């Protein structure tokens, strides 16, 4: 029982770290800083801001890619990919709401949520995905994908795939957005619905509010309602059918009282700056001046996060700066948006329907090295979140590639008890590898490799002159733990067989003596804290 509780706490901690670096959480923190509101109210405002950024300001979702899907017409026949007519569709492979699902329900439910979301998004755009495409998007076996989707399809969720059997399609009863609202109107709690249908709390809130907006416009046509509310036409149709059924049973006044639907909520609140300012004033209590100022701030956010050029298979992720020391809270840590290749042409070749290990490792390595090359570092929990796997699965994959050093957050900042990247680089150097070979093996830059070797050489050189650890630590401006780590390596390599490398180390230290640091008030002496 204790182990289960510890596991849940660990998952929630990892999810909280990911959530704190999301765009929606950034907006919520800005809202709390600007106005004295509760965290719950800030989250509601941030959710509305995200919808406004996407619908009015045209901000492409940070976790959205363009992906070739099969045109829905004739897609149910089993044919090879090259024989099917395709079209690019926009799919959200990573969403801010995924962190909520991970925290509340775990990694497997998050995987289900992502798969269901991209299937629905392709369907809304007149296309279908298939098993092969899902295996490319998510590093799972075809069998595992079928088993995970079955948990939703058996509840009646409409998740159409190309090549799906008639028996499976016969189970379809409605889209998740329709089933969720229907079950809530029948008395089921939102939390139970969220877990069973693999949806996050923010997504549930958007669907419930969207349903209320749709029914206030029931006299308009489905395309008009879809344009006004931003909801897909199949979802609008499903909600209207359900609403007609409720009206026939005389239940509409019991489950949706007139006073809970604001008159302005079905208008242009997310599709124009004027409408959004009205929402801020009437729903969230902003003054007219503060609403105008905040709307301008959101325009700047859209420019900042929309200016990064990315290809169809790239996403944007917010990570910690690689130069940030450990021990800081995320509020004090410099965060940086990086562009990552979620999907590359090689992934289609690497994908194996029966074994996802190769594709999983390829993404792990790519995410870590690309983020580092842009001045940021990803923690293992960040990588697991991006790959859509558990932290343990990522650690196992890294352990099976011991010869490759990834610049993760824990290694870059020397966090945790594991062997650091600096130790591995020094070991490679002492074993006779050139700097070029070390760069290629570890993914670090030449500057980083030279810096670690230089730090090690200075520690060795001063130690051989008999300098004690406290004075040595101050002379080389490193933490005591790092100095002791280097001294342990020196004891290991000062035996026979490494004389030539140690001679090079000494000459390197002589040519680059430590720079004298002038102590100034308020400036850290120790690079590693």
Predicted confidence (pLDDT) per residue in 403-444, tens digit: 787 888 776 665 544 446 678 888 888 888 888 888 877 766
Confidence of residue 518 (pLDDT cuts 50, 70, 90): very low
Environment class of residue 394 by beta-carbon count within 10 Å: exposed (0-12), middle (13-18) or buried (19+)?
buried
pLDDT averaged over the chain?
84
- Backbone angles phi and psi of 228, in degrees to 5: -70, -35
User: Mean pLDDT throughout 75-87?
Assistant: 66
pLDDT at 527: 28
pLDDT at 496: 78
Q: Which is it for the CA torsion 242, 183, 118, 203, positive or negative?
A: positive
DSSP 46-72: HHHHHHHHHHTS-PPPTTEEEEEEEES
Higher pLDDT, 478 or 267: 478
Query: Which of 121-135, 433-447, 489-503 bottoms out in mean pLDDT, i.e. has the lowest?
Result: 433-447
Confidence of residue 240 (pLDDT cuts 50, 70, 90): very high
203 alpha-carbon distance from chain centroid: 16
Task: Give the best-scoring range by mean pLDDT among 77-81, 437-441, 482-486.
Answer: 482-486
The Cα–Cα gap between 149 and 154 comes to 9
**How many angstroms separate the most distant Cα atoms in the chain?**
92
Confidence of residue 328 (pLDDT cuts 50, 70, 90): low
Confidence of residue 43 (pLDDT cuts 50, 70, 90): confident
Q: Which of 489, 513, 476 is nearest to 430 (CA)?
A: 489
pLDDT at 163: 83
Indicate the DSSP class of residue 172.
-
Residue 362 pLDDT more than 90? yes
Q: Where are the domains of the chain?
A: 20-59+272-307, 202-270, 419-529
Is there a contact between 341 and 314 (Cβ–Cβ < 8 Å)? yes
Is there a contact between 288 and 313 (Cβ–Cβ < 8 Å)? no
Chain segment 241-278, per-residue pLDDT in tens: 998 888 887 776 655 554 444 454 556 778 889 989 99
Q: Tokens in use for 349?
A: 């070749």
pLDDT at 417: 43
The Cα–Cα gap between 246 and 253 comes to 9
3-state helix, strand, coil in the chain (%, to 5): 60, 5, 35
Chain segment 162-187, per-residue pLDDT in tens: 888 889 999 999 999 999 999 998 88
Sheet containing 314-321: give its strands across.
335-341, 314-321, 376-377
Indicate the DSSP class of residue 265.
G
């Amino acid at each position: 029982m204790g182990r289960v509780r510890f596991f849940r706490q660990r998952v929630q901690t990892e999810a909280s770290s990911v959530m704190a670096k999301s765009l929606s959480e950034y907006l919520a923190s800005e809202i709390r800083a600007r106005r004295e509101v509760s965290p719950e109210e800030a989250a509601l405002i941030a959710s509305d801001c995200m919808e406004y950024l996407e619908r009015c300001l045209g901000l492409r979702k940070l976790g959205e890619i363009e992906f070739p899907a099969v045109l829905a017409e004739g897609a149910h026949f089993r044919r090879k990919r090259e024989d099917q007519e395709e079209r690019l569709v926009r799919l959200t492979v990573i969403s801010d709401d995924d962190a909520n699902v991970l925290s509340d329900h775990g990694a497997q439910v998050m995987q289900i949520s992502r798969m269901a979301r991209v299937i629905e998004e392709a369907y809304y755009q007149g296309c279908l995905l298939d098993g092969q495409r899902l295996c490319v998007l998510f590093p799972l076996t075809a069998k595992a994908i079928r088993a995970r989707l079955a948990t939703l399809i058996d509840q009646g969720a409409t998740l159409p795939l190309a090549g799906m059997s008639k028996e499976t399609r016969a189970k379809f009863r409605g889209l998740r957005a329709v089933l969720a609202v229907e079950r809530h109107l029948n008395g089921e709690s939102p939390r139970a619905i969220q877990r069973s249908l693999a949806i996050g709390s923010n997504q549930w809130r958007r669907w419930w509010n969207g349903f209320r907006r749709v029914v206030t416009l029931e006299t308009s046509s489905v395309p008009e309602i879809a344009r006004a509310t931003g909801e897909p036409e199949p979802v609008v149709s499903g909600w209207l059918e359900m609403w007609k059924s409720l009206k026939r049973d005389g239940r509409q006044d019991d489950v949706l009282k007139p006073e809970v639907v604001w008159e302005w909520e079905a208008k242009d609140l997310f599709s124009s700056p004027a409408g959004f300012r009205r929402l801020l004033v009437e729903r969230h209590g902003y003054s007219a001046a503060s609403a105008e100022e905040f709307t301008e701030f959101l325009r700047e956010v859209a420019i900042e996060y929309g200016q990064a050029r990315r290809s169809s298979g790239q996403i944007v992720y917010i990570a910690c700066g690689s130069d940030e020391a450990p021990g800081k809270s995320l509020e004090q840590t410099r965060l940086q948006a990086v562009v990552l290749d979620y999907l590359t042409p090689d992934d289609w070749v690497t994908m194996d329907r029966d074994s996802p290990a190769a594709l999983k490792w390829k993404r792990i390595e790519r995410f870590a090295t690309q983020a580092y090359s842009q001045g940021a570092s990803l923690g293992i929990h960040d990588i697991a979140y991006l790959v859509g796997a558990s932290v343990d699965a990522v650690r196992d994959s890294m352990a099976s590639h011991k010869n490759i050093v990834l610049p993760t957050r824990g290694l870059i900042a020397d966090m945790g008890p594991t062997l650091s990247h600096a130790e591995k680089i020094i070991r490679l150097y002492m074993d006779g590898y050139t700097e070029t070979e070390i760069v290629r093996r570890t993914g670090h830059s030449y500057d980083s490799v030279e810096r670690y070797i230089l730090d090690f050489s200075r520690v060795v050189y001063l130690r051989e002159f008999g300098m004690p650890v406290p004075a040595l630590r101050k002379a080389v401006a490193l933490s005591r733990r790092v100095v002791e780590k280097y001294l342990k390596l020196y004891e290991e390599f000062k035996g026979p067989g490494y004389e030539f490398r140690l001679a090079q180390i000494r000459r390197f230290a002589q040519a680059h003596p430590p720079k004298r640091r002038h102590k100034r008030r308020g400036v850290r002496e120790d690079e590693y804290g």
